[in-house]
Amino acid sequence: MTAPVSASRERRRSNELALRSRLVVQGATSVAVTACLALGACTPAPASTPPDTTAASASLPTPAAVRKVSFRVPDESEVTDTVVLASVRRGRALLRNTRDSLPAHVGNKLQCVSCHAADGTQKNAMPLVGIYARFPQYRSRAGATQIIGDRVNDCFKRSMNGTPLDPESRDMRDMVAYMAFLSLGYPVGAEVEGQGFPRVPPLPGDTTRGAALFASKCVACHGSDGQGTDLAPPVWGPNSYNIGAGMARVRTAAGFIKELMPQTAPRTLTAQEAYDVATYINTRPRPDFKGKELDWPHGDPPPDVAYPTRAAATRKAVSKR
């Protein structure tokens, strides 16, 4: 009876080797979460002696270089594991209703979708499509490599003016699961067409012109005092993003405004008008961010950062010696 058992074991090993070879090839062009979400195969197999894959590895093609890929929003039908799908759907709900769902972590009146339009699926509107495949990544503001959970908590601390999630919590796992779902099939590290939003060449903004534009183009949604309405969130004041948020940078805000505002007529403002509105908004009062002076610890802050950093001051002092 030992021969059939041995033959069966050899067939399983052969099948496992073939599957691993296929997944290694796919790993060069697709995030590993594809296998986890689509196949429900995230639970590690029992420990065993690994097969010799030297010959198979030698025959694998060289991974393609990271490249720019087309924008594609995955469909829920691509997730066949029902437990994972429930996590994905809850993560999406948290993005839509962040303040109501996580009041202990949100200190203003913004939701994740205040910046990431259409549940993070809109091209050129700071989409979350493909984002899971671009982490871990080095971020100069932190001066370190961050995983995607770090980036999520940056938003909670800065854009939401709140407190970070427990990295091991269900809330964090579900939000990351949703971002992983939006990254199904995307090559690791690849740039996605339409990620972020189109950058606008820097221009000097004028607060007087910006105030007039805000009064004529923005008050219907954001209110005459900038404190928001049922249609849109506050853009300054105690219930808006704090000074440490990316949107508090004029260049970032101008790009967002140029592409997406006003909501009733996006892409109708000129670059100069976008900078004028961004300058007006970001010179209004807003919450502070404790520890902001420690940002960009290598002394390389962007030119539009609204506050001094310790490392930049040190670098400047050294350069004058």
All residues at 6 or more sequence positions from 283 whose CB lies less than 8 Å from its CB, including other chains:
207
C-alpha 101/C-alpha 23 separation (Å) is 37
Structural domains in the chain?
70-192 (1.10.760.10), 207-282 (1.10.760.10)
Kindly report, residue by residue over 26-59, the tens digit of the pLDDT: 444 444 444 444 434 444 445 556 666 555 555 6
- 60 vs 289, which has greater pLDDT? 289
Query: pLDDT exceeding 90 applies to what percent of the chain?
Result: 77
In the block, residue with structure tokens 């902001």: 292
Which pair of tokens denotes residue 173?
A: 């796992």
Query: What does 272-309 look like in DSSP terms, one character per residue?
Result: HHHHHHHHHHHTS-----TTGGGSSTTS---TT-SS--
Kindly report, residue by residue over 240-258, the tens digit of the pLDDT: 999 999 999 999 999 999 9
The gap from C-alpha 192 to its chain's centroid, in whole angstroms, comes to 12
C-alpha 42/C-alpha 130 separation (Å) is 20
Kindly report, residue by residue over 113-162, the tens digit of the pLDDT: 999 999 999 999 999 999 999 999 999 999 999 999 999 999 999 999 99
Kindly report, residue by residue over 258-304, the tens digit of the pLDDT: 999 999 999 999 999 999 999 999 999 999 999 999 999 999 999 99
Contact 176, 132 (CB under 8 A): yes
Kindly report, residue by residue over 154-205, the tens digit of the pLDDT: 999 999 999 999 999 999 999 999 999 999 999 999 999 999 999 999 999 9
Contact 152, 175 (CB under 8 A): yes
C-alpha 250/C-alpha 208 separation (Å) is 15
